[in-house]
Amino acid sequence: MRIRAVLFDADGVIQVPTVDWRATLRTFLRPDQSAEEFVLDLMTSERPSLTGKGDFREATAEVLRRWEVSTPVAEVLALWEQFAAVPEAIDVVQELRAAGIPCHLATNQQAYRREIMNDRRNYGQWFDRSFYSCDLGVAKPDPAYFKAIVTAIDLPPSSVLFVDDTAPNIDGAREAGLYAEQFDLSSGVPVLRGLLHGYGLPVATDDPEQRQQG
């Protein structure tokens, strides 16, 4: 086995929310309304835009009308901007790239959030290539998402490692023939380093045993 490229998910792997957005969404509702159902409605309305079908802004506006929410659409959409990349995780990506291992962003996003990540915050500078589901027209966990990426980077699936925080996405990647590992930032970046080191990838690790194996 030789890993020749690594795909990194975004949310939960290299970036985290900076607000409790679910709690904030609850404040937009009347006391007699179900916050859980409201959040589910928003998430359901977002799905088409994750594959580039429909406008997320318009879908959100429709949900707010349906729930009789008076909060401006722009204020609700601002919650999707409340996230930050974790420097320690980005450092890992840069170590791999400096050692000659291409690293690519592989994330489910609608165009509104893609614009924030790619255009406003220049995420592309941290990766060799960025693959947003809204551009590919297919989203994780569909194996076709991963097949589209390996075709674009011109590598066999068996030479690519995918890291994501969600089990169904891991299953989809493995079905497409990639190596895949589940990781969540809540477990700490040293765990990510250990995971990558276990595949023989050139990253520093704080584990003395792993250093000896390397």
How far is Cα 134 from Cα 108, in angstroms, rounded to an integer?
7
What would the mean pLDDT of 195-205 be, rounded to a whole number?
95
* Last-in-domain residue among 61, 81, 101: 81
Query: Do 30 and 52 share a structural domain?
Result: yes
- C-alpha distances (whole Å) from 149 to each of 57, 145, 173, 185, 196 are 27, 7, 11, 24, 20
User: What residue numbers bound the domain in which 32 lies?
Assistant: 21-81
Helix and strand tally (H, E) in the chain?
11, 7
Query: Do 182 and 108 share a structural domain?
Result: yes
Query: Do 37 and 117 share a structural domain?
Result: no
Q: Looking at residue 77, what is its pLDDT?
A: 94
pLDDT tens digits for range 74-132: 999 999 999 999 999 999 999 999 999 999 999 999 999 999 999 999 999 999 999 99
* Last-in-domain residue among 29, 61, 81: 81
CB atoms within 10 A of CB 69: 20
Query: Do 101 and 41 share a structural domain?
Result: no
Number of domains in the chain: 2
pLDDT exceeds cutoff 80 at 212: no
Query: Do 13 and 31 share a structural domain?
Result: no
Instruction: Tell me the pairing of strands 83-85 and 15-17.
Output: antiparallel
